[in-house]
A = this chain, B = another copy of it.
């Protein structure tokens, strides 16, 4: 087992009606003025935002609001949020929404605690030295940002999508009521499930062989998400299925499924980030669309690991070689994505990527030739191009 750190300070308050505890949870944090940050009108229309405001009012906590976060959240709104917080002396950010809203809140938090340009952190020019404390009321099970240290922001200037991680941004509390996710469209539910699975799969695909506790948790998490995702395709209002997936979403990205590993292989996420920046696709769907291409490109570097995945997660019958079992596992994963109406190639998302665009994606993903990605196989710009190409479908 490799040395590791595990740090998940977020207080999770999980279950029916828990959004009504938001004001009290914010008060426990000793905040004086809150920015309520959210996305589209759905939290307004559903009445959720009103319940949150009421809860803050009852706790005697003043607040200002900033909506308008979009999927693949934008740097321009982050700048606006920073100015608003500074002007209003906000000392706590409450993110009401899914991963995009939470990520935007984290970026605002970094910006308020800093004196320079917050984009510097996402460009890896400097390290953050603080972040306004953040609370979450989660409405989408997907990104795991409610317990994670990471955030991803898109800079409209060049449509660059970049992630930044630090423990400063781990939310202080996360209110998680699975009922709030019941009205999500099927496509978004499925896309969320893929995102959840990928956070564990990217940790799972590594070169370590000696972490039983972590491997078993990961395999069980993946099986649990798959089973309950299928239930939701026909019974979207099944509370227990929503709850299993919501809880799995947090555990999948809070660090637990990476403990004792070498960190895993995040190439699929990085390949998808550029797609998301260029085409604004749903993150989970984008991951599903590139994963098979990535897996086939690297499988020969770790056939035993892919074979373990195939048997323990996908439940396939072992073939005569690890490689054969591994390939069956990749096919089984793609079949599962199809069951959720998720894409397994770019064409499935109605994206026609030109030769020139594929070159551009590889340029951006390699930071213009300055980095490689992945650990199962280290991928350079040319490898990235090939994986995008094979993913066209």
A182 CB within 8 Å of chain B: no
Please determine whether A216 and B212 come into contact, CB atoms closer than 8 angstroms. Answer: no
B residues near A228, Cβ cutoff 8 Å: 212
Provide the bound-state CA to CA distance between A10 and B8, in Å: 7
A367 CB within 8 Å of chain B: no
Please determine whether B16 and A5 come into contact, CB atoms closer than 8 angstroms. Answer: no
A345 CB within 8 Å of chain B: no
Q: From residue 1 to 22 of chain A, which have CB atoms closer than 8 A to chain B?
A: 1-18
Count A interface residues, CB 8 Å. Answer: 40
Please determine whether A7 and B11 come into contact, CB atoms closer than 8 angstroms. Answer: yes
Provide the bound-state CA to CA distance between A109 and B206, in Å: 41
A271 CB within 8 Å of chain B: no
Which of A16, A178, A220, A251 has its CB near the most chain B CB atoms (within 10 A)? A220
Please determine whether A213 and B13 come into contact, CB atoms closer than 8 angstroms. Answer: no
Determine the residue in chain B with the shortest Cβ distance to A259.
B247
Please determine whether B216 and A220 come into contact, CB atoms closer than 8 angstroms. Answer: yes
How many whole Å from A256's CB to the nearest CB in chain B?
A: 8
How many whole Å from A172's CB to the nearest CB in chain B?
A: 10
Provide the bound-state CA to CA distance between A275 and B248, in Å: 39
B residues near A210, Cβ cutoff 8 Å: 240
Please determine whether A8 and B5 come into contact, CB atoms closer than 8 angstroms. Answer: no
Provide the bound-state CA to CA distance between A239 and B3, in Å: 12
Q: From residue 243 to 289 of chain A, which have CB atoms closer than 8 A to chain B?
A: 243-244, 247-248, 251, 259-260
Residues of A in contact with B (beta carbons under 8 Å apart): 1-18, 178, 210-213, 216-217, 220-221, 223-224, 227-228, 239-240, 243-244, 247-248, 251, 259-260
A-B contact pairs, 30 of them (CB 8 A): A1-B15, A1-B178, A1-B239, A1-B240, A1-B244, A1-B247, A2-B15, A3-B15, A3-B17, A3-B18, A4-B12, A5-B14, A6-B11, A6-B14, A7-B10, A7-B12, A8-B8, A9-B9, A9-B11, A14-B260, A212-B224, A212-B227, A212-B228, A212-B244, A213-B221, A213-B247, A213-B251, A216-B220, A217-B220, A220-B220
